[in-house]
RNA sequence: GCGCCUGUAGCUCAGCUUGGAUAGAGCGAAUGCCUCCUAACAAUACGAAGAGAGCAUUAGGCCCGGAGUUCGAAUCUUCGCAGGCGCGCCA
């Protein structure tokens, strides 16, 4: 039963006006739902205060509505707490997947995320892509979507060619060598055009099918992908499929695209011999609306390979996570896909994580590596556990450390620039991952002490304190929160919800005894905290954060 | 220069899609509280002290600025300002 909808129904019936909406008063002592009467003033030609008074007298109380307060222009509804509590808690108890509305039942979705240049260890800025992507994947799966996760490997292109050149003559190259190598070769290329020429020669050979060059590229890319995915899998971020850019070259799919575009009459060769797509008429925010697809020597550029990739992606809906630097490019790509009558992926853009000294740049080497962030967090988590227990379980330390990292990044809405600050990022107090896990662990501990099975046959009307009602209301909102997060592809909505649920629980925990309460109240409260535990567990799961029974 | 995004407490962020009653959190600061997390005492009982990733109270806001729409604007419109990103051969 949805109390909000019921109240709206009653209001619409009484006033004869459709499309009304109720809101939640600033303080629960004022009521559970409120209807501001301003909007009716014009239609009814009366003052809002007068309307509120009249409506207040007209509406009859029922099983749902216990009381109506008229406060100036506001009509405040008090709902029947007992039936409300029972309603919400029973739903949670009965449904292990509480929160899911099965929005994705029978649907499938391809989610492409991470897709970092395979040139070095990922920095926290780029990790934002993986974390947001992974959370979206989890949310969609929770809603019943059949999701396939893809990582598009940019294994061709100037960056990799530079790395290949930088690796020349070195035999044992490890993943951790790559970053330094990459920075070094970038500097060289910048200074010396002759070296840049060498880079392009490598690319040319590669695209012409030179086997040795191809092997050299593959070697570097393999080292890199292996290193990157190891880090991400440590954080429990996994991929169903790796799509290699080069595949679309070898299979001549890129040539196909050029032909198809040519047929549309929008492809031209510019004065320097490059193949260029004319994109006039798409309202693209650029001086000359074109998309350059090849170099003068005929080698492919990223947009061409990316186009081939998207067109050959599995049919159906797809989502892609991209940095804000790709916004315009994505418009261009979408325009090109539209031209070829191909479905356009939904996109989630995220802004960069900035450092005090400016933005992160792999090329310049001014970065905070995800690896290092993970290491620091793990160290701190071990220290904290050690303080409490003496012994440290590696597994738990990781759950806490990585939970902290994920939450710290996922709690901020993706379009915002984030300032990276070590102290804040490594905080375990307040609005942080460990705080959420702690609330969960506390509930587990109460059940450990209780030692018996929960009896679900309880009198819900005993849950009547302010803290309990607040908590139950929040629990009831979970499915709608997950719905918004799903529809808007915004994991941070889940983050802030779980945080307020946890803090609502702490408030309740501090003001209501559970084990020491009278038997009947105790039973009802145990059911309540079991429900909180489940929702916390489900919610944290959507962010990819593990829970602990004890911490 | 043009386009998109952002601007809310000292710092880090919710709220803006759908305008509504005193603008919410966290960190940091000050002062308290603590039962079932964690940890260690005391004990017939009452209590005292400690730890804590727990809780509360207080201080801290011309919601970037101006103008407009509206009974009502952090929220909508518009003009500025500041930061981020982008604007043809990087990906």
Contact, A514 CB vs strand B, < 7 Å: yes
Closest listed residue to residue A398, CA positions, set A285, A235, A209: A235
In angstroms, how far is B21 C1' from A52 CA? 14
User: How many Å apart are CA A141 and CA A103, to the nearest integer?
Assistant: 10
Residues 8-27 of A with CB under 7 A from strand B: 21, 23, 25-27
Domain edges within chain A? 3-79, 113-256+290-359, 404-543
Nearest to A160 by CA among A204, A215, A248, A221: A221
**Sign of CA pseudo-dihedral A339, A340, A342, A345:** negative
pLDDT value, residue A451: 85
* A538: CB within 7 A of chain B nucleic strand: no
Is A542 within 8 Å of A494 (Cβ atoms)? Answer: yes
Any residues with CB less than 8 A from the CB of A254 and at least 6 apart, and which?
A248, A300, A304, A305, A307, A308
Query: Cα angle at A275 between A271 and A279, to 5 degrees?
Result: 100
Measured torsion, CA atoms of residues A35, A36, A39, A43, in degrees rounded to the nearest 10: 70
CA dist., res. A290 & res. A266, Å (int): 10
Whether A38 sits with its Cβ under 7 A from any strand B atom: the answer reads yes
Please, what CATH class does the domain formed by A3-79 belong to?
alpha beta
Closest nucleotide to A74, Cα to C1' = B21
pLDDT tens column, A129-185 = 999 999 999 999 999 999 999 999 999 989 999 999 999 888 889 999 999 899 899
Of A309, A306, A340, the residue nearest A326 (C-alpha): A306
Is the Cβ atom of A300 within 7 Å of strand B at any atom?
no
**Closest nucleotide to A115: CA versus each C1':** B91
d(CA A524, CA A459): 6
Q: Are A150 and A136 in contact (CB under 8 A)?
A: no
| Length A444 CA → B37 C1' (Å) | 9
CA of A522: nucleotide with nearest C1': B36
Where chain A has pLDDT below 50, the residues are: none
A388 CA to B42 C1' in angstroms comes to 22
Query: Which pLDDT value is given to residue A96?
Result: 93
pLDDT value at residue A249: 93
Considering only residues 458-487 of protein chain A, which place a Cβ less than 7 A from any atom of strand B? 484
- For the CA of A62 and the C1' of B53, the distance in angstroms is 45
CA of A3 to C1' of B77 (A): 35
Q: At what angle do helices A178-191 and A211-234 cross, to 10 degrees?
A: 130
What per-residue confidence (pLDDT) applies to A1? Answer: 57
End-to-end CA, chain A? 37
CA angle A410, A416, A418 (to 5 degrees): 70
ipTM summary value: 0.91
**Strand B bases with any atom < 7 A from protein Cβ:** 1-7, 11-15, 17-18, 20-22, 24-28, 35-39, 51-56, 71-72, 83-91
Is the distance between the Cβ of A342 and the closest atom of strand B smaller than 7 Å? Answer: no
> Can you read off the two tokens belonging to residue A35?
């209807």
Instruction: Tally Cβ neighbours within 10 Å of residue A107.
Output: 14
pLDDT value at residue A74: 92
pLDDT of the residue at A161: 94
- The CATH number of the domain covering residues in A404-543: 1.10.730.10
How do A358-359 and A74-79 pair as beta strands?
unpaired
**d(CA A421, C1' B81) / Å:** 27
Name the strand (E) or helix (H) holding A188: helix A178-191
Write the CA distances from A519 to A81, A463, A507, integer angstroms. 20, 13, 21
Residue A345 (CA) to nucleotide B49 (C1'), in angstroms, measures: 63
Predicted TM-score (pTM) of the model is 0.94
Q: Which CATH architecture has domain A113-256+290-359?
A: 3-Layer(aba) Sandwich (3.40)
| Distance in angstroms: CA A329, C1' B3 | 13
Specify the pLDDT at position A144: 98
Question: Is residue A16 helix, strand or coil?
Answer: coil
Q: How far is the CA of A388 from the C1' of B51 (A)?
A: 9
- Sequence-ordered list of residues with C-beta below 8 angstroms from that of A313, at least 6 positions apart, any chain: A110, A150, A345
Measure, in angstroms, how far nucleotide B34 C1' is from residue A260 CA.
Answer: 72
Find tokens 């459709």 and name the residue. A18
The pLDDT value recorded for residue A294 is: 95
Q: Is the C-beta atom of A509 closer than 7 angstroms to strand B?
A: yes
A400-422 burial: b if 16+ Cβ within 10 Å, else e = bbbbbbbbbbbbbebeeebebee
A54 burial level (CB within 10 Å; 0-12, 13-18, 19+): middle
Instruction: Measure the CA–CA gap between A364 and A180, rounded to whole angstroms.
Output: 10
Nucleotide with minimal C1' distance from the CA of A421 is B12
């Amino acid at each position: 039963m949805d109390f909000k909808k019921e109240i709206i129904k009653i209001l619409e019936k009484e006033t004869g006006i459709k499309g009304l909406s109720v809101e939640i008063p600033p303080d629960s002592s004022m009521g559970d739902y409120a209807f501001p009467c301003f909007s009716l003033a014009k239609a009814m030609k009366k003052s809002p205060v007068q309307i509120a008074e009249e409506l207040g007298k007209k509406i009859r109380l029922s099983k749902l509505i216990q009381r109506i307060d008229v406060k100036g222009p506001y009509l405040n509804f008090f709902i029947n707490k007992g039936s409300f509590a029972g309603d919400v808690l029973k739903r949670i108890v009965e449904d292990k997947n509480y929160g899911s509305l099965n929005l994705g039942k029978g649907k499938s979705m391809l989610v492409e995320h991470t897709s970092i240049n395979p040139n070095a260890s990922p920095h926290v800025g780029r990790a934002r892509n993986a974390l947001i992507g992974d959370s979206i994947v989890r949310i969609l799966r929770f809603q019943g979507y059949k999701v396939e996760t893809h990582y598009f490997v940019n294994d061709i292109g100037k960056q990799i060619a530079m790395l290949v050149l930088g690796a020349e003559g070195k035999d044992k190259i490890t993943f951790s060598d790559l970053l330094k190598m990459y920075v070094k070769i970038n500097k060289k290329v910048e200074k010396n055009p002759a070296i840049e020429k060498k880079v392009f020669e490598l690319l040319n050979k590669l695209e012409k099918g030179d086997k040795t060059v191809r092997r050299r590229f593959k070697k570097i890319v393999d080292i890199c992908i292996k290193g990157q995915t190891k880090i991400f899998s440590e954080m429990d971020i996994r991929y169903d499929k790796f799509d290699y850019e080069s595949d679309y070259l070898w299979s001549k799919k890129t040539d196909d695209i050029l032909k198809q575009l040519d047929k549309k009459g929008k492809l031209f060769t510019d004065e320097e011999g490059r193949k260029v797509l004319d994109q006039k008429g798409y309202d693209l925010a650029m001086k000359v609306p074109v998309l350059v697809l090849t170099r003068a020597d005929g080698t492919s550029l990223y947009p061409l390979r990316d186009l081939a990739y998207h067109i050959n992606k599995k049919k159906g809906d797809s989502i892609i996570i991209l940095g804000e630097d790709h916004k315009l490019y994505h418009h261009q790509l979408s325009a090109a896909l539209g031209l070829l009558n191909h479905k356009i992926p939904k996109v989630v853009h995220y802004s960069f994580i900035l450092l005090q000294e400016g933005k992160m740049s792999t090329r310049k080497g001014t970065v905070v590596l995800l690896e290092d962030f993970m290491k620091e967090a793990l160290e701190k988590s071990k220290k904290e556990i050690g303080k409490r227990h003496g012994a440290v379980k590696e597994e738990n330390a990781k759950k806490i450390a990585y939970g902290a990292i994920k939450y710290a990044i996922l709690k901020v809405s993706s379009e915002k620039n984030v300032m990276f600050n070590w102290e804040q990022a490594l905080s375990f107090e307040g609005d942080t991952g460990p705080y959420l896990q702690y609330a969960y662990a506390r509930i587990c501990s109460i059940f450990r002490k209780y030692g018996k099975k929960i009896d679900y046959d309880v009198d819900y009307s005993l849950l009547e304190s302010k803290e309990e009602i607040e908590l139950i209301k929040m629990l009831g909102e979970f499915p709608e929160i997950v719905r918004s997060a799903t529809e808007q592809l915004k994991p941070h909505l889940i983050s802030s919800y779980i945080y307020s649920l946890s803090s609502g629980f702490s408030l309740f925990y501090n003001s209501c005894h559970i084990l020491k309460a009278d038997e009947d109240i105790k039973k009802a409260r145990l059911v309540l905290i079991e429900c909180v535990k489940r929702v916390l567990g489900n919610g944290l799961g959507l962010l990819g954060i593990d829970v602990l029974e004890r911490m």
